[in-house]
Amino acid sequence: MGIKETVSNPYSKWLDASGPDSDVVISSRIRLARNIVDQPFPHLLGTEDAEKVVYAVNSVVEHSPFKDAPGGMELSRMTELSPTERQILVEKHLISPALLEQPEKKAVVLRDDEVVSIMVNEEDHLRIQCLLPGLQLKECWDIANQVDDGMEQILDYAFCEEKGYLTSCPTNVGTGLRASVMLHLPALVMTQQISSVLTSLSKLGLTVRGLYGEGTQATGNLFQVSNQVTLGLTEEEIIDNLLMVAAQLVSQERAARQALHKEQRHHIEDRVWRAYGLLRYARLITSSEAMSLFSDLRLGVDLEIIPGVPPGLITELIIMTRPAFLNRLNDKEINPHQRDIYRAKLIRERLQSLSR
């Protein structure tokens, strides 16, 4: 699947709700920060040196060990994509918003199944990412590590025996690894436990962000939890620590859901059915309203209150109804009011098709 098909298709493997504990854990991600020796960090790169980095990465992708690898990988320069197409890659979590800045210096490598992406000249020369559905951090690590080893066979990484991998931001020095899980925590929010949970996470050296990472707020009761420290810990220790915390959060969220359904059954059932009714019949839905309604609907599906709605479809609708993807579906940029109309129409059609 080429880059043009990627930006035309709302589906990504991490959306399919097939992984372990996917009733709470939407996705797992491993990201590795790497830099090429004797090259300035990306924020100091001129256009000519930035192109040298892109060329070096592309040379690796086009040759062994990647040339004949299953799935196939392809490098695309950001200037080859329209602003809408670039934003869709952000909405699909395949790149960060930072890769949109100075596109003439940047590129992205995508594996056909979108499980692996490599951002080139973002904050570091390489940001190797693996993204899978559910709680699969170790599986993500295995894939990302294989890609990293393949790149390192040809590229000379900036590495210090004492400090580890050298990175643009000091907080990434060491392993250069960021492990994260995206969690749906509506019951912890409804029972007002979320503040104490987030406080506890910060004491454990973890950070909590919104749907699109650093600088974003939690919407739709989706929270991204990741490690803060990369120096002084091994990759396995970082991953094991986050796995332990994620398992605890899954247990807490499930307990809160069951308690809510038992103690406030009519209230919860009314809430999720109202959400389903609005999504199925409304003529105008804003982006923020859609996120809230999707959260309630997903809760109803996971509690088996609402039958016949695949959980993966709800996550896919989140991507499909974001502004850039709506523009793509219309083959033009539409204003916010038009997006609200089209968003509602799109959701209605997808949900009503289930009953047919």
Q: How confident is the model at residue 80 (pLDDT cuts 50, 70, 90)?
A: very high
By CB atoms closer than 10 A (0-12, 13-18, 19+), residue 1 is middle
| 46: number of Cβ within 10 Å | 10
Q: CATH number of 3-256: 1.10.20.10, 3.40.50.2300, 3.30.590.10, 3.40.50.720?
A: 3.30.590.10
In this predicted model, what pLDDT tens digit does every residue of 1-15 receive, in sequence order? 688 889 888 888 888
Triad 182, 209, 151: Cα angle to 5°: 65
In this predicted model, what pLDDT tens digit does every residue of 180-239 receive, in sequence order? 999 999 999 999 999 999 889 988 889 998 765 554 566 889 999 999 877 788 999 999
Calpha distance 73→109 (Å, rounded) = 7
Give this prediction's pTM.
Answer: 0.92
In this predicted model, what pLDDT tens digit does every residue of 340-349 receive, in sequence order? 999 999 999 9
Q: Which one of 70-79, 203-212, 247-256, 329-338 scores highest in mean pLDDT?
A: 247-256
Q: Where are the domains of the chain?
A: 3-256, 264-355
Task: State the chain's mean pLDDT as an integer.
Answer: 91
| CA terminus-to-terminus distance, the chain | 30
Is the CB of residue 76 less than 8 Å from the CB of residue 3? yes
Binding residues: 27-31, 93, 127, 178-182, 209-214
pLDDT value of position 12: 86
pLDDT value of position 16: 85
In this predicted model, what pLDDT tens digit does every residue of 143-182 receive, in sequence order? 999 999 999 999 999 998 888 889 898 888 889 999 999 9
Binding residues for ATP: 27-31, 93, 127, 178-182, 209-214
Question: Residue 316: pLDDT above 80?
Answer: yes
Q: At what angle do helices 323-330 and 311-320 cross, to 10 degrees?
A: 80
